[in-house]
Structure 1
Amino acid sequence: MLFGGFPIAGALIGWLLTPLASWLVTLPWAPLQGPAELLESLPQPQVTIGAIVVGIIAGAVLGAVGLHEALTIDISSGRVVLTRGGDVQRIDGSHVAVAFLTGKHLVLLDSATRELARAKTDLKAGDLEPAFRAHGYSWAADDPHRDDYERWVEDLPDLPIGADALFKARQRALDSGDGDDAEELRAELAKLGIVVRDVNKRQYWRLVRDTSG
């Protein structure tokens, strides 16, 4: 659907290009008068055919890029494989305690409530839930630990040693739009037993469950 839709849209734009140029030259105040007049002066139907072909090619390229960046989820009873572009994450199915969709992120938790995976996806819960349940995984309608989160502010006394500095660095990354750095710092916080979720660039956190006893 994604791959096929872009070439069709590109072809439609290419087909509309010449009529749009003809309309623009009738409006003295309209922008791009020069390019519109040049396009209208070129021979037909060659120009329209060429514009359609270029639109199809451009749409196909955009569709391929979108397909490459889309999340692919392969679910079996033994494992869950998340693939985006060249990045592949394999999660042992026996470690997955629950799966759920929060916002546009698929999240997998283990029995200690630690995040095994968090991946952005355009898939809906109605598509994901039956797929996970069919292979024996528990599915939650939302984050089952949502009420455990607290908002992070500087110098909280209850945080593990070193966490506050990571939160400060991550807040700077969120404020500057550096998503890669924010995700790297999320992983560092996870090593300290902290799970983080973001709401409008605000950070909320909770501790994983202690299973040592």
Structure 2
Amino acid sequence: MTTSSGSPVRIGPATSDAVVGGAVFGALGLVAGLVLPWLAGAVLRMDWLPMQSQAEVVQRVAEHVPVWVLPALGLVAGVVVGVLGTLDDPEVLVSAREIVVRKGDKRTRVARSQVAEAGVRDQHLVLFDAADSELLHQRVPGDPQAVERALQQHGWPAIRP
């Protein structure tokens, strides 16, 4: 195994992921805002359904605001949910000396000297010490093979089969 002294490899959400997440959830929110008043009207016509009071609220709101407001609110809410959901994914930095996992405000650092085996199992980065105790078990963002390649590039000891 060769150890690379190159720069750390970053695996995690990219700006493009946030843009795609925002666009997809924004489009879903827009459609929901367009369909919600019609759906509320349909629910009110079926008095046997248990969501009558919620449908009445949606119907009243739809009657008192301009037609573009609910789709616009759905679009904004969808974009916010999509972007924040994407940015909540963990970021993994792999270097020859350490692995750092950042998720939100939490930062976990594991030095190479502590690790006897490192690899990806079932979409999770797992690190074991010499006593076979698990040091880290973290869901891998995006492509798990990218983490595996980064571990190999920097010469981390592979998990035994």
The question of a shared fold, defined as TM-score above 0.5 by the shorter chain, is answered with yes
Q: Pick from 66, 72, 91 the counterpart of residue 110 of structure 2.
A: 91
Please say if residues 21 and 37 of structure 1, whose CA atoms lie closer than 8 Å, have aligned partners that are also in contact. yes
Listed one character per residue, the Cα deviations across residues 58-90 of structure 1 (whole Å, up to 9, x for unaligned) are 223333543453211111223211001111112
2:117 & 2:31 partners in 1: Cα distance? 44
Residue 58 (1) aligns with residue 80 (2): no
Seen in structure 2, the aligned counterparts of structure 1 residues 93 and 56 have a Cα distance that, compared at 3 Å, is farther
* Superposition RMSD in Å: 3.0
2:45 & 2:58 partners in 1: Cα distance? 10
2:153 & 2:132 partners in 1: Cα distance? 22
1:70 & 1:55 partners in 2: Cα distance? 23
Please say if residues 25 and 36 of structure 1, whose CA atoms lie closer than 8 Å, have aligned partners that are also in contact. no
Residue 34 (1) aligns with residue 34 (2): no
2:113 & 2:86 partners in 1: Cα distance? 30
TM-score (norm 1): 0.52
In the other structure, the counterpart of 1:115 is 134
* 5+ residue gaps, structure 1: 146-213
Q: Pick from 16, 19, 29 the counterpart of residue 38 of structure 2.
A: 19
Q: What are the within-5 Å matches in structure 2 for residues 47-196 of structure 1?
A: 47=67, 49-103=68-122, 105-121=124-140, 123=142, 125-140=144-159, 144=160
* 5+ residue gaps, structure 2: 1-16
Choose 1 or 2 for highest CA Rg. Answer: 1
In the other structure, the counterpart of 1:196 is none
Please say if residues 126 and 136 of structure 2, whose CA atoms lie closer than 8 Å, have aligned partners that are also in contact. yes
Note the C-alpha offset of 1:13.
1.6
In the other structure, the counterpart of 1:166 is none
Amino acid at match of 1:111: A
In the other structure, the counterpart of 2:12 is none
Amino acid at match of 2:63: S
**Matched residues, percent identical?**
25
Please say if residues 79 and 91 of structure 1, whose CA atoms lie closer than 8 Å, have aligned partners that are also in contact. yes
**Number of aligned pairs?**
139
